[in-house]
Homo-oligomer: A and B are copies of this chain.
Amino acid sequence: MKICIIGSAGHTNYVLDGVRRDKDSRIVGIAAGIQGEGIDKLTEQIGELGEKPAVFDDYREMLEQLQPDVVAVASHFYQQASITLEVLKRGINVFVEKPVATNLSELASVKRFYQQSNLHLAAMFGIRYKPWFMTAWKLVQQGGVGKVRLMNAQKSYKLGSRPEFYKKRETYGGTIPWVGSHAVDWLHWFSGERFETVYAAHSSQYNQGHGELEVSALLHFRLTNGVMGSVNIDYLRPDTAGSHGDDRIRVAGTEGVIEVCDERVFLINSKKKGVQEVSLENSEGIFLDFLRQVRGKGKCLVSAEDSFYITEVCLKARVAADENRIVML
């Protein structure tokens, strides 16, 4: 399996982790997604894996010369959709950073092209595979909390000092799609429900010189069957915190409540008195799951449909926040 990587701004670590575990795949080429996107550090990390990818100035040239089986796209976020289209047009499968696009028209173009092809596509909703989320999700699928009724998800990050392209909506896409999309994905993934309406707010106040970047956001979803979900997002996590991020979900159902917090899983249901801490299951990670699908040996847990759907919902949530209105989904 020949793999190329375009760009180094996103979660290329998913690809590196996958290739490290899979003796039948090779990273054969790497290129920037746009001029000036530094890829030296990524090239070095790939080298440490024992891989010797060819480095290209122009990713189109790379695609044509190397004819890879899979391309990972992880460039500046506003470039994702156009690069993805270029890859798909050459008949190559895509593993793409989320959100798939930073505006609805580009999303529609990618989706249309994908649907007319026989190619595979998945967005990097890799947090699903973190043992704590995977364990909680499996428990919910097995009925551990009965029917899901109310969900609250959280993404909280340290802000630090972000690259220039984060500082403009046009190049960054917004905090709801970039950070929030993971949590929006969990709401759909845990409950199996579809989103009906979204209302939202976001604010770039107190963003420490980060231009238009929103540092707080709050989303309110009505889902099918009277289910509700919120997502709170912030870049307010203090530098002194023990980890970069504080990802959480609480799912309250008719038969119990489950929570992911601090990379642990806590369950209360009728089976036992009090809070049970659930032991975690390991998983192979998103990229191996996607490669398995490309090889025709299974279905990746993150489908192309979900990748498009969550991107669309997040872009519409951004509209709700910008325009202070309810958006129908």
Query: Which A residues, 227 to 273, have Cβ-Cβ distances below 8 Å to chain B?
Result: 227-230, 232, 234, 236-242, 252-257, 268-273
Of the A-B pairs whose beta carbons lie under 8 Å apart in the complex, a sample of 6, sorted by A's number, is A149-B205, A149-B206, A203-B226, A218-B228, A238-B257, A240-B269
Distance A35 CA – B271 CA, assembled complex (angstroms)? 41
- A275 sits at the interface (CB 8 A): yes
A205–B226 CB distance below 8 A: yes
Q: A242-B274, A255-B238, A324-B197 are in contact. Are A230 and B218 (CB under 8 A)?
A: yes
A149 partner residues in chain B, CB cutoff 8 A:
203, 205-206, 215-216, 234, 236
Distance A242 CA – B268 CA, assembled complex (angstroms)? 9
A252 partner residues in chain B, CB cutoff 8 A:
156, 216, 234, 236-237
Number of chain A residues close to chain B: CB under 8 A: 52
A273 partner residues in chain B, CB cutoff 8 A:
240, 242
B237–A220 CB distance below 8 A: no
Distance A218 CA – B226 CA, assembled complex (angstroms)? 11
B238–A150 CB distance below 8 A: no
Can you tell how many copies of this chain the complex includes? 2
Distance A305 CA – B154 CA, assembled complex (angstroms)? 33
* Interface residue ranges, A against B (CB under 8 Å): 147, 149-150, 152, 154, 156, 197, 199-201, 203, 205-206, 215-220, 222, 225-230, 232, 234, 236-242, 252-257, 268-275, 324-326
A234 partner residues in chain B, CB cutoff 8 A:
149-150, 252
| CB-CB nearest in chain B for A236 | B252
A150 partner residues in chain B, CB cutoff 8 A:
216, 218, 232, 234, 236
Distance A252 CA – B232 CA, assembled complex (angstroms)? 10
Contact of A147 among B206, B242, B325 (CB under 8 A): B206
Contact of A239 among B216, B270, B275, B324 (CB under 8 A): B270
Distance A272 CA – B34 CA, assembled complex (angstroms)? 41
8 nearest CB pairs, A to B:
A220-B220, A203-B226, A218-B228, A199-B199, A236-B252, A150-B216, A149-B216, A206-B254
16 additional contacts (CB under 8 A) given A203-B228, A228-B232, A238-B255: A149-B205, A150-B236, A203-B227, A216-B226, A216-B228, A218-B229, A230-B232, A237-B268, A238-B268, A240-B268, A240-B272, A240-B274, A241-B257, A241-B275, A324-B326, A325-B326
